[in-house]
Amino acid sequence: MRVLGIDPGLRNLGWGVIDVDGSRLSHVANGICKSSGTDMAARLMSLHVQLTEIFRQFAPQTAAVEQTFVNKDGAGTLKLGQARGIALLVPAQFGLAVGEYAPNTVKKTVVGVGHATKDQIAHMVRVQLPGITLAGADAADALAIAICHAHHARMPALARRVGA
């Protein structure tokens, strides 16, 4: 199964692609889509075009996106939500189901604790995907989301096998 993880952001949208074969994970690619344009519509279109190209190039079979957390800055949360809309729209345009995970779930799955730092996430992504070169913190987060999805998507299949 090929999984694409997306870390939504209006300036920098991180993405990471992994292949999953049983319990084996292997890195395919990772990067950061940087929005361009001066107004919101242009920036969102830029992210849409870039993410669409990533889907065309890597042909993921499933996708996962980090859920938005609400912070004190309502305007910032709204802007992040608009970028998250692009992160949900593009996989849907390719007919894919999208897993959504809370930030703490991603951190707990990948690092083992729900309040891990960005450095800890990047470290554990490197441990689970040896030899990887990360495009940046947003790409590391996106790969962590993909890893989280791989583990959680596998759980129902494992439960069926154990219960059979």
Which domains can be identified in the chain, with CATH numbers?
A: 2-163 (3.30.420.10)
Dmax (CA) for the chain in angstroms is 56
Q: Which entry of 7, 19, 53, 73 is annotated as an active-site residue?
A: 7
* Residue 73 among the catalytic residues: no
Tokens describing residue 130: 């040896």
Q: Cα separation of 123 and 54, whole Å?
A: 24
* Residue 66 among the catalytic residues: yes
Q: Taking the CA atoms of the chain, what radius of gyration do you get in angstroms?
A: 15
pTM exceeding the 0.85 threshold for the entire prediction: yes
Q: Which entry of 21, 66, 119, 141 is annotated as an active-site residue?
A: 66
Q: How many residues does the structure list for the chain?
A: 164
119 annotated as ligand-binding: no
Q: Which residues contact 69 (CB under 8 A, 6 or more apart)?
A: 77, 102, 103
* Residue 138 among the catalytic residues: yes
pLDDT in tens, the chain (164 residues): 999 999 999 999 999 999 999 999 999 999 999 998 889 999 999 999 999 999 999 999 999 999 876 666 777 778 888 999 999 999 999 999 899 999 999 999 999 998 899 999 999 999 999 999 999 999 999 999 999 999 998 654 433 333 33
73 annotated as ligand-binding: no
Q: Cα separation of 148 and 52, whole Å?
A: 22
53 annotated as ligand-binding: no
